[in-house]
A = this chain, B = another copy of it.
Amino acid sequence: MLLRKAQEYRQRYGVELRVVSITDITGTAHSQDGIDLKLALERCRRGVIDYPGAEEMSGVDAIREIEAELVVEATPSNIKNGEPGMSHMLESFRAGKHVVTSNKGPLALEYWKLVQEAERRGVEFRFEASVGGAMPVINLARETLSGDRIVGIEGILNGTTNYILTRMTTEGTSYETVLREAQELGYAEADPTYDIEGIDTASKLVILANAVMGMRARFGDVKVRGITRITPEAVRLAKERGYVIKLIGEVRDSRLEVAPRLVPESHPLNVGGALNVAMLECDVAGRITVIGKGAGAIETQSAILSDIISIARRCGG
Contacts and interface: CB of A to CB of B under 8 A. Distances in A.
What is the total number of copies of this protein in its complex?
2
- Most B CB within 10 A of own CB, among A128, A285, A293, A310: A285
Interface string A257-271: 000000001101001
A143 B136 CA distance: 11
B144 A144 contact: yes
A306 B144 contact: yes
Interface in A267-317: 268, 271, 282, 284-293, 296, 298-299, 301-310, 313
A273 to B, nearest CB: 12
Nearest to A291: B289
B306 A8 contact: no
A176 to B, nearest CB: 27
Interface in A119-138: 128, 134-136
A302 B148 contact: yes
A286 B309 contact: no
A14 interface: no
Contacts of A147: 5, 301-309
A23 to B, nearest CB: 22
A292 B289 contact: yes
Contacts of A268: 271, 291
Interface string A238-267: 000000000000000000000000000110
Interface of A: 1, 5, 8, 13, 128, 134-136, 139-140, 143-149, 265-266, 268, 271, 282, 284-293, 296, 298-299, 301-310, 313
Given A143-B144, A284-B305, 13 more contacts: A13-B146, A134-B286, A135-B288, A136-B144, A144-B144, A146-B309, A147-B305, A148-B306, A268-B271, A284-B299, A286-B299, A288-B291, A289-B290
